[in-house]
Amino acid sequence: MSRYSSISITAHYTAQAWVRQGLPWAEFFDTTQGRALHALCEVFFAAARRAGFSTPSEFLVQRHRIIDALVAEACPAQLIELGAGLSPRALAFADSSGGPALDIDLPAMVELKRQRLGGHAPPSYRALAVDLVAANDYTQALSPYLKPVSPTVVISEGLVAYFPLPRQQQIFDRVAALLRRLGGGRYITDIHHQQTVDRLGATARVFRTLLSLLSRNRQPLQIPNEAVGRRMIASAGFDELSIHDPQSFRSQLDLPNPERDSGLVVYEATIG
């Protein structure tokens, strides 16, 4: 079993954030664990807000809305979400567009998602059990469910930060190869540069400690800075990289406390 299999507990907390935001299909993932985690964490987060700090719940909403805006701008023909957890995004895409939509995660999470849906998923939606960092390349197993059409959009939200840099590079490499094989598209993922984590100091340390406790995995060092990130994306074979931060979406999106620096950036890497 993958050493990363225990990270799924964080999916319950994140799913509760989507329930409270009223996202389409989120109601299927309103779990007892999510409600309990949210109630427990809010005791601490209330004090953090009074002290003027950005909270993880605010960060989650910022991240999700920015990624959704970039997905909408891309007008995908098909959608893949890696490490999807209990995200409702692919379900909403399949429901609204009828295009192929795949959620990829470890077997226990996929089984939970199927149980919660109870057969109510749209016809073009699939949840597939895959270990993203296994030695064998998982992307070949996706072929029966996808079409060679462009653009394909691949998303990872709250995923790559769990992995050390060599694993992150492996994820980038495989996504780039998949997109090229399908005819082109975009890979959208959130990133925290290590120099930003270091600059934020205590705020970032508290957040990373909380995430480590919830996931029972020590948080590894992140991509050092933008220059290294650009080299990693180029090395994977992407043609172009745009880096977005919450400030650039202030006038476009209703983001909670965008003036507070959460250290979030979103990579949008393009093939074709």
The predicted-structure confidence for 184-196, as pLDDT tens digits, reads as follows 999 999 998 988 8
Name the pTM for this structure: 0.91
Q: Residue 79: CB partners within 8 Å, gap ≥ 6?
A: 71, 89, 90, 93, 94, 99, 100, 101, 102, 152, 153, 154, 155
- The token pair that represents 255 in the structure block: 């983001």
Do 243 and 265 touch, CB atoms closer than 8 A?
yes
**In this model, does residue 272 exceed pLDDT 80?**
yes
**In this model, does residue 244 exceed pLDDT 50?**
yes
pLDDT reported for residue 211 = 55
**In this model, does residue 226 exceed pLDDT 90?**
yes
Angle at CA of residue 271, ends 173 and 11, nearest 5°: 60
pLDDT reported for residue 1 = 43
pLDDT reported for residue 257 = 64
- DSSP class of 29: G
- pLDDT tens for each residue of 11-29: 898 999 999 999 999 999 9
What crossing angle do the helices spanning 202-215 and 56-74 adopt, rounded to 10°? Answer: 80
- Domains with residue ranges and CATH for the chain: 9-271 (3.40.50.150)
- pLDDT tens for each residue of 133-152: 887 888 988 989 999 999 99
